[in-house]
Amino acid sequence: MLDHPHATPEAPCLDERALARALSGRHLIGGRLVPAGSGKTFPIHNPATRQEVAQAALGDAADVDAAVENAATAQKSWAKLPARKRGALVARCAELISAHVEELARLIALETGKALRTESRVEANTVADILSFYGGLGSELKGESVPFAPDVLSVTVREPLGVVGAIIPWNVPMLLMALKIAPALVAGNTVVVKSAEEAPLAVLRICELMNRILPPGCFNMLSGFGPECGAPLVAHPKVRKVTFTGSAEVGRIVSRTAAEKLVPVTLELGGKSPMLVFADCDFDKTVAGAITSMRFTRQGQSCTAASRIYVERPIFARFVDALAARVDAMVMGDPLDEKTDIGTIISQEQFDKVRRYIDEGRASEGAGTRACSRLPQDAALREGLFIQPHIFTDLPNSSRLVQEEIFGPVTCVFPFDDAQAVLAAANDSEYGLAASIWTNNLRIGLDLAHRLEAGLVQINQNLVVQANLSYGGVKSSGLGKEASLESMLEHFTHKKTIMVNYG
């Protein structure tokens, strides 16, 4: 057990372990860091060493109720603030987060094992960017005037939905949370976030920082497990909107509960995103693009990871060799070391799951396997949850590695002979989140971009979520869009019609 938690530091704190201890054992409800009603906690581990770094408050239905009641009370006055004022407060939060990027980056690296330079710092900066983007959108909460009749003024106004329940995963928890809370708050809602059990610390710190600026009760945070804390949040009668990012399996459960209550849901679920590489592509740029696309620096723990790479046959063998060589050159090691490109897998559970897929791929008859990069040699990391990136070739389409989301550093590469065949293969998936096409023939590229079943298609690049660009999947990848103006208007407000007969 850890020492009794002390007060959280006022200034940015670059001692991530001290900060983790200071945040221990707390939810944030009604503007205050408070223990779970039950007093119970659960341990948080550093996946690079498997040592305990903190205890998190173990949330249950009573904690959910306390947080939602606070949020419901706060929402009444929050919604009365002019929209631009709400936006201005969220923009001030962006500045405060900017000042804390380095500490947040270190803290998220500690709890998730994501490399500081390639992942954690990037994520912390993106959070500030998303808050600043939405902070400027208050004046976009506009309605319309409708030409109903000559002496009737008919207008629509955008109103907030009320209390938003947000459930987030562990892979990019700060960023994925920002995509939910920023538009929800600017639109006049208040929020209760349930953090992922593996990574509750950095998001709690963000919540604490933002609570220095926002009125109490607007932004509340609970830690805890899915069935005990997430499910009661979704089911709470005063939660009038649910937004979820995580597995398709839990997305369906969340969606069913929300349907019973008749409240809207946004779901950002899994993916099995294809990358289509044509022989006329810029070869080196595309190989580098495959590293980014597969999110190797995040150990492939991304819903948009290019886990199916289709390469036109004339360059197939050369491409696989070049990709393997490039991944080989990546440095796997201590997430907090600036030299590290690739950190760890998040948890023992995910580690075991990914290893099972790799073992299955290796056992698949005729399959080619390349295990790349070197496991860290540092004795301090001997227990760490490191997995070598694996590149598979010659797997049958029926293989689980080709069909299922692995959420680890495992990609499958296939040769193809013509655009129609590769389109059919790419679309032959239950998922439809993201896709990329690499070619200098824009006729082919744009044709495929229109015909790929995915929410986000990129040609000759494969960036992660960006503020201002609509993001969200089709098929089993989800419902609704995030990251854009549209997401705020369509998913965090409803349109009310008001008519005045002055005849």
Active-site residues: which are they?
Answer: 268, 303
Q: Indicate whether 206 belongs to the interface with ligand NAI (CB under 6 A).
A: no
Verify binding: residue 227, ligand NAI, rule CB under 6 A.
Answer: yes
Other CB atoms within 10 A of residue 267 CB: 23
Q: What is the DSSP letter of 3?
A: P
Are 503 and 151 a contacting pair, CB within 8 Å? yes
**For the chain, how many residues are written?**
503
Q: At closest approach, how far in Å is the CB of 225 from ligand NAI?
A: 6
Nearer to ligand NAI, 328 or 404 (CB): 404
CB of 318 to ligand NAI, least distance (A): 31
Asked if 64 touches ligand NAI (CB under 6 A), the answer is no
Q: Which helix (H) or strand (E) holds 128?
A: helix 121-135
The torsion defined by the Cα of 330, 336, 339 and 341, in degrees rounded to 10, comes to 20
Task: Indicate the residue among 60 and 334 with the shorter CB distance to ligand NAI.
Answer: 60
Can you tell me which of 9, 84, 154, 225 binds ligand NAI, judged by CB under 6 A? 225
End-to-end CA distance of the chain: 73
Q: Which residue is nearest to ligand NAI (CB)?
A: 226
Nearer to ligand NAI, 101 or 196 (CB): 196
Q: Which stretch binds ligand NAI (CB under 6 A): 230-238, 311-319, 480-488, 492-500?
A: 230-238
Torsion-angle region of 246 (φ positive above 0: left; ψ -120 to 50: alpha; else: beta): left
Q: Is 231 in the site for ligand NAI (CB under 6 A)?
A: yes
Among residues 245, 392, 366, 367, the alpha carbon closest in space to that of 307 is found at 392
For residue 38, the SS3 value is: coil
Q: Identify which range of 79-87, 121-129, 226-234, 287-295 contacts ligand NAI by CB under 6 A.
A: 226-234
**For residues 290 and 308, is the Cβ–Cβ distance under 8 A?**
no
Contact range with ligand NAI by CB under 6 A, out of 165-173, 365-373, 374-382, 442-450: 165-173
- 3-state DSSP call for residue 13? coil
Which C-beta is closer to ligand NAI: that of 264 or that of 270?
Answer: 270
- Distances, alpha carbon 456 to alpha carbons 123, 435, 461, 469, 480, in Å: 20, 6, 12, 9, 12
Amino acid identity, position 204: L
Going by the DSSP 8-state scheme, the letter that residue 503 receives in this structure is: -
Name the segment binding ligand NAI (CB under 6 A); options: 17-25, 166-174, 383-391, 420-428: 166-174
String of contacts with ligand NAI for each residue 287-326, x by CB under 6 A: ----------------x-----------------------
**Cα 497 to the center of its chain, rounded Å:** 34
Q: Which is nearer to ligand NAI, 253 or 449 (CB)?
A: 253
- What beta strand segments (E) does 93-133 contain? none
Told to check if 226 binds ligand NAI by CB under 6 A, we report yes
Each residue 244-273 as x (binds ligand NAI by CB under 6 A) or -, in order, gives -xxx--x--xx-------------xxx---
Q: Report 168-187 residues binding ligand NAI (CB under 6 A).
A: 168-171
User: Which residues between 398 and 417 bind ligand NAI (CB under 6 A)?
Assistant: 405, 407
Angle between helices 442-451 and 419-427 (to 10 degrees): 30
Binding residues for ligand NAI (CB under 6 A)? 167-171, 194, 196-197, 225-227, 230-231, 234, 245-247, 250, 253-254, 268-270, 303, 350, 405, 407
